[in-house]
Chain A
Amino acid sequence: MSKYNKANDLEITPEIIKEHGFKQEEYGNILKILKRRPTYVELGIFSAMWSEHCSYKHSKPTLKKFPHKGKYVIQGPGENAGIIDTGTDMAVAFKIESHNHPSAVEPFQGAATGVGGILRDVFTMGARPIASLNSLRFGSLESANTHRLLPGVVSGIAFYGNCIGVPTVAGETVFEDAYEDNCLVNAMTIGIVEKKKIIKARASGLGNSVMYIGAMTGRDGIHGATFASAELSEETAENRSSVQVADPFMEKLLLEATLELIDEKVMVGIQDMGAAGLTSSSTEMAFRGNVGMEIDMDKVPQREKGMNAYEIMLSESQERMLLVAKKGKEKQVEKILNKWGLHAVVIGKIIKKQNVIVREKGEIVADIPIEPLADSGHPFFPLKHQKGVKPAYLKDINIKKSEIKEPEDLEAVLKKLMGSPNIASKSNIWEQYDHMVQTNTVTLPGSDAAVIDVKDRDFMIATSVDCNGRYVYLDPFRGGQIAMAESARNVSCSGAEPVAFTNCLNFGNPEDPEIFWQFEKSVEGMSDAAKALKTPVISGNVSFYNEGPKGAIYPTPTVGMVGYITGSEKRYCKQFFRDNNDVILLIGETLEEIGASEYLKEVHGLIKGPVPDINMKKEALVQKTCRDAVKKGLIKSAHDVSKGGLAVALSECCVTGTLHGEKAVGAFVELQSDLRQDALLFGETQSRIIVTAQREKVAALKKLAVKNRVIISEIGKVGGSRLIINVDWASRKNPKKINLGIDEITEIWSKGVNKYV
C-alpha cells in the first residue's frame, strides 16, 4: 500500500503540508482560494501544479527575455511542443525535455521514459516524430557511478527509441566531475506535420466528452513532478517509486492511433499525461480553453487494486493521454483505439464553471478553480521574483596566460586531447541507437549536425544539441551566448539555415541567489545570441534543483537547434575531408585564448576562464558565409572549431569520414601566426569553421568571404596518410610541428571513450 493511500478527509497537519513542499504562505493562499480547508486530493493537486516542474514559478519572469516570435513561428512556448513553418504544406514540431532525477535514481527506466515523454509531446501536436536527439552529462569517466549510469542511460534510450522506430540521430555526451551525483539526461524529438492537421492541447465545447486513452494507471511515479523539484540527497535512492516504467510498444500503438484520430478529425484537443499525469493534463487543457472539467476516478482504467483519487490524480504512469472528443464522435474514437488493441474510456466532460472537479464513488473529492492552479498571472499563483547575486567563486576565476607554461611536446598534447572523454569518438554509444530507421538520415551521428531528409518535399532538416556547461559556469552570459552560437554553427556547417531552437535549462537550486544569478545571466546571454542569429525559442523545459551532496551541477542550458536546407537540389555538406589536394581554409580568425578550454583542463588540470570572447555579429556572418558556400556548391566539407581547438578540429576532419564509410585521410597544414603555439593549436576561439574546396573554387570562396566581411585564410591541403601541422615560423625561436599518422590518431580517438561503453 502506498503512503498516499489515505482518507480524503484526513487532517492536514503541518507535517503533511511540508511533505507536499508548500511554504506556509502558499498554504495560506490555498485556504484563500478554496475559502475552506483543502481535502487530501486537493492538497496533492496544488502540490503538483505548483511544483517547480509544472509551474515554472522561479523561471517564468526570466524566460520572458527570450525572443519567441519570428516569421517561421506557428506555435511558440506553452504547448506540448513548438511548431515552425517550412514554407511548404508541412510544419516542424520539436521540443527538448529533461529527465535528470529519474535517470540518476534508475538510469534505464529514467532515460527510457524521458524519451517516451518527449515523443508524446511531439505527436500530440499531430506531428509524426522523425528524429530524436539527446544531451547527456555524467561525472568522471573513471568513476563507479558513471559506470552504473552511462550504460543504463544509453540502453534505456536505445530500448525506447529503437522500439518505437524513431531514429536517434545526434547528441552529445559530456564527462565532468560537476555531474557526478546528478547526471543530466535531456531528450529532444522533432516531428513533421501537415499544417492543416496541427492539433493543440486545448479543451473546448461544453458537454464534450473527456476521454482517457493508453495504458492503465498504476501507482508508479506518484509525485514525480514534485520529486523533480527537489535536490537529490542520500535518501533519493528510496524514492524509486517516483520513477516510472517504460513501455515503448504501447507508445508505438498510441502514436499510430493518435495520428489516425487526427486524420479522422474526431477530437478537439489532446494532451500527454506527462509530469503530474491526470492532474496537469486536465487542468492545463481546461485552462487553455477557458473551460472547466469534471472527471470521475471510478472510470479511470486502473492497473492496481484499491487506488484512491489522490493516487490516480498524481500517478505518472507512462503512455497515457487525455483527449476531448468532438460531440458524438466517442464511438469513432473507441473504434480507432480498438483497431490498435487499445481502449478509450469516457472519464468526464467539459463544464462551464472553470473548475477542475474530481469525483470518486459518486462524491466530489476535489473542486478547485483552475486559474490559480495554472495561470501565472493569478495573484495567488506562487510566482517567485527572485534576485540573483553574483557568485563568489567568480572572483578569482581567470588564469594569467603568463603563468601557464607552454607545452614542449605538441604531439603529445594532441594525442591526449583526441583520446580525452569529451573529444574521443562516442560511436559505441550512438551505434546502440537505431539512427537510420525511416530512411531519411543522410548525415549520421558523430557529426556537427545530423541532416534528415524529408521525402517528397523540397527541404531537409539539420539539427544539433549543444552546451558547454564549463563555459556557462565560468561566465554565464558568454557561456549562454556560445551555447546558442555553437549549436547554430553546427547547423550552418551542414549548409542549413538555423530557424528556431528549443532549450533545456538545467541548473541547481534557484532559491540560492548565486544559482539564480547563473540562470538569469545565461538566459540573457542566450537571448542576446538568439536575437543576433534570428532564431526564436519555440519550446523548452526548465530543470532546477540539479544538486547532489557536493553541490550544484555546472549551469547547463542545453540548446536544441533546428535549421532548414531548402531548394529542390537539397545541397548539404558533411564535416570530413574528402579528396587529395583539396584546399583547406579557415573561415574566421584565431585569437590568443586558452581559458576554459579542454586543453587547459586535460593538460594543466585547470578549470578556469576567461571564456573565449564572442562577437555575435561576426558569428552570424561566419555562419552565413559557410551556408552561402554550401548553397553555391563551393565547398566539399565544413566543420566547426570547438572543443580542443584547431588541431583537434583538423584531426576530426581527417578521421570522421570513417563513420560514413569513407577512408580516413591526412592533411598538410601551415599556420602562420605569432600567437602562443598552445593557443594557436588548442585554444577555443569562437566563430571559426574549417572548410575544404577544390583549387578552382578557392577564388570564388574568398570573394564570398570578402563580401560577407569575414576573414578567410588558406591553411593547407588534404592528402597523404599523416596529419602534419607546421607551426614553424621564421620569427620563432623554438619551432615545432605536429606530425602524426592518421592511423594512430584514429586509434586513439576511437578508443578513448568506446573502451568504457
Chain B
Amino acid sequence: MVKFGVVVFPGSNCDKDCLWAAGDVMGEKADFIWHESKDINKYDVIILPGGFSYGDYLRSGAIARFSKVMDSVQKFAVKKNKLVIGICNGFQILLEAGLLPGAMLHNKNLKFICKYINMRVENNNTPFTGECTKGQVIRIPIAHGEGNYFCDEKTLNSLIENDQVVFRYCDEKGGVNEVSNPNGALYNIAGIMNKKGNVMGLMPHPERAMKKELGSTDGNFIFESIVTHVKKYL
C-alpha cells in the first residue's frame, strides 16, 4: 500500500478531507503528521493540506514554512526525491518554503472564492497526472482568497519551457482565457511542479472532488496518478 502522510499545522482544515481521500476513497494507508514531527521518511507521499495555517496571519503560508516538519519535508523532497503535493494553503507553503517558484497574490476581485471551476491538464507526464490525458478538462472546486499566482517573466518562461505548468484554469471545453480565470492568476496557472517533477502545488482541491455526490469525481485522477506512480517506481 502507498503510504500518505498528511501534515497537520495549527489551522490546517482540509487535513481530514485529504486523509479521507487518500485513505477511505483510494483505500491506501494515510496518517496525520503533527507539525512538530521530524521523522517522515516512512511515507511515500507527503500532502500539505489546505486551511489557514497559523491563521494565515502575516501572509498565507509564511509562518508554517518555519515549522519543524518543513525541514524534514525539504529533505524528503530534495534529497530523497519523494513526492510532495501542496493543495491550496499547502501550495502557498511550498512557495514560501522555496520548494516551488513564485508567489500568491490576493484574488483579483479581492474576495474569497469557493466554487467549481475547470482546469486543463498541461502536462500528463508527471507523477501527479499520469492517469490524465494531455488537454483533459478537470472539474474541481477552488476555495481561497489568495490564489492569484504570480512570478516574474523569466520564471514563467522557464516554467513553460520545462513543462512545469501542470494545470491551467480553463472553460468547460478547455479554452484558456480571461473569463475562465477565476482569480487573476498569471498565465491562468492553477498548478505547477518543480523541475525534477516530484513536488507539485495546486490551488484547486482534488480531495473535494472524489465522489459524485460532491459534484465531481475528477479529483480521483490526481490521487490515482500518484498511487500508480508510487506503486510503479518506488
Interface of A with B (CB < 8 Å)?
Answer: 155, 158, 162-165, 247-250, 252-253, 340-341, 431-439, 441-442, 444, 453, 455, 660-661
Cβ–Cβ contact A163 & B11, under 8 A: yes
Q: Which residues of B contact A434 (CB under 8 A)?
A: 112, 114, 143
Question: Looking at the complex, which one of A165, A340, A442 makes contact with B214 (CB distance below 8 Å)?
Answer: A442
Question: Looking at the complex, which one of B13, B17, B54, B56 makes contact with A164 (CB distance below 8 Å)?
Answer: B13
Q: For the complex, give the distance between the alpha carbons of A77 and B208 in Å.
A: 35
B65 sits at the interface (CB 8 A): no
Question: Looking at the complex, which one of B10, B17, B51, B145 makes contact with A253 (CB distance below 8 Å)?
Answer: B10
Q: Which residues of A contact B145 (CB under 8 A)?
A: 162
Q: Which residues of B contact A341 (CB under 8 A)?
A: 10
Interface string of B183-221 (1 = CB under 8 A from A): 000000000000000000000010110110111100000
Cβ–Cβ contact A248 & B52, under 8 A: yes
Q: Which residues of A contact B208 (CB under 8 A)?
A: 436-437, 439
B98 sits at the interface (CB 8 A): no
Question: Looking at the complex, which one of A247, A433, A437, A441 makes contact with B13 (CB distance below 8 Å)?
Answer: A437
B79 sits at the interface (CB 8 A): no
Cβ–Cβ contact A252 & B52, under 8 A: yes
Q: For the complex, give the distance between the alpha carbons of A249 and B54 in Å.
A: 7
Q: For the complex, give the distance between the alpha carbons of A250 and B55 in Å.
A: 8
Q: Which residues of B contact A162 (CB under 8 A)?
A: 52, 112, 114, 143, 145
9 residue pairs, one from A and one from B, having the closest CB atoms: A165-B13, A249-B55, A163-B52, A442-B213, A434-B143, A439-B17, A434-B114, A432-B112, A158-B112
- Asked if A453 meets B112 with Cβ closer than 8 Å, knowing A165-B13, A252-B11, the reply is no
Least CB distance from A57 to B in Å reads 38
Least CB distance from A445 to B in Å reads 10
Question: Looking at the complex, which one of A163, A431, A437, A439 makes contact with B210 (CB distance below 8 Å)?
Answer: A439
What band does the interface of chain B fall in when counting residues whose beta carbon is under 8 Å from A? 35 or more
Cβ–Cβ contact A435 & B55, under 8 A: no
Report the nearest B residue to A162, measured CB to CB.
B112
Q: Which residues of A contact B211 (CB under 8 A)?
A: 439
Q: For the complex, give the distance between the alpha carbons of A515 and B113 in Å.
A: 40
- Would you mind naming 24 contact pairs between A and B with Cβ atoms under 8 Å apart? A162-B114, A162-B143, A163-B11, A165-B13, A249-B52, A249-B54, A249-B55, A252-B10, A252-B11, A252-B13, A431-B113, A431-B115, A432-B113, A432-B114, A434-B114, A434-B143, A436-B141, A436-B208, A437-B17, A439-B20, A439-B211, A442-B214, A455-B20, A661-B116
Q: For the complex, give the distance between the alpha carbons of A434 and B113 in Å.
A: 8
B68 sits at the interface (CB 8 A): no
B14 sits at the interface (CB 8 A): yes
Q: For the complex, give the distance between the alpha carbons of A438 and B208 in Å.
A: 8
Question: Looking at the complex, which one of B52, B54, B214 makes contact with A436 (CB distance below 8 Å)?
Answer: B214
Q: For the complex, give the distance between the alpha carbons of A453 and B211 in Å.
A: 12
B82 sits at the interface (CB 8 A): no
Cβ–Cβ contact A248 & B55, under 8 A: yes
Interface string of B141-157 (1 = CB under 8 A from A): 10101000000000000
Least CB distance from A151 to B in Å reads 9
- Asked if A439 meets B114 with Cβ closer than 8 Å, knowing A163-B11, A252-B13, A434-B143, the reply is no
Q: For the complex, give the distance between the alpha carbons of A406 and B215 in Å.
A: 43
* Chain B 19-45 interface residues, beta-carbon cutoff 8 Å to A: 20-21, 24
Q: For the complex, give the distance between the alpha carbons of A155 and B111 in Å.
A: 8
Cβ–Cβ contact B214 & A431, under 8 A: no
B57 sits at the interface (CB 8 A): yes
